[in-house]
Amino acid sequence: MLNRLSRHCFCTATPRPWLFVGLGNPGDKYKGTRHNVGFELIDAFAESEGISMNAVHCKAIFGQGFVDEVPVFIAKPQTYMNLSGESTGPLAAYYKLPLNRVLVFHDDLNLPCGVLRLHHKGGHGSHNGYWEASWTNGSQSILAPKVQCNSPRTN
């Protein structure tokens, strides 16, 4: 009886971590362009949660911290958009994260300005950066929040 009670009432399981990846292109040339909305989301999230993005890990600018008691790893791959899987896959593997604990943020021209849409097991929608991140990891199980923040006519 005590064994059954301790399993249900005294659980000390630690929260499972998340990996948030913002897709974009490195360099000043791409700042403020629609492709860098993933980078901008990661920067805003890091700032709001007090997480420093001061490390380089697996070809990404990287930070880690907690949201409440849940560990989070956040990354901005520096491989350019279409090679983002070279960073995303190794990060998930390094931290032994199942792909359902990975969120990849990227732009989507089909959304109205300022809209965020969460896709689970969705297609890449002709977005080569997301396609690279998902297929390099051998699955389309990565969650993909899509955002549109600029006019569809901007790069």
| 118 domain residue, yes or no | yes
Domain containing residue 52: 18-144
Q: With bands split at pLDDT 50, 70 and 90, how would you rate the model's confidence at 83?
A: confident
Q: Which residue in 35, 106, 119, 120 is the catalytic one? A: 35
- pLDDT for 153 beyond 50: no
Give the type of residue at 141: S
Q: 70-79 burial, b if ≥16 CB within 10 A, otherwise e? A: eebbbbbbbb
CATH number where 68 lies: 3.40.50.1470
| 33 domain residue, yes or no | yes
| 88 domain residue, yes or no | yes
| 87 domain residue, yes or no | yes
- Residue 51: how many other CB atoms lie within 10 Å: 20
Q: Residue 138: what pLDDT?
A: 46
Give the number of C-alpha atoms closer than 13 A to the C-alpha of residue 94, restricted to the C-beta side.
11
- pLDDT for 15 beyond 70: yes
| 96 domain residue, yes or no | yes
| 7 domain residue, yes or no | no
Mean pLDDT of 126-137: 45
Q: With bands split at pLDDT 50, 70 and 90, how would you rate the model's confidence at 34?
A: confident
| 150 domain residue, yes or no | no
Q: With bands split at pLDDT 50, 70 and 90, how would you rate the model's confidence at 140?
A: very low
As for how many domains the chain has, the answer is 1
Q: How far, in Å, CA of 137 to CA of 130, rounded?
A: 11
pTM summary value: 0.74
| 75 domain residue, yes or no | yes
- Percent of all residues in the chain with a pLDDT value above 90, rounded to a whole number: 43
The yes-or-no answer on residue 127 being catalytic is no
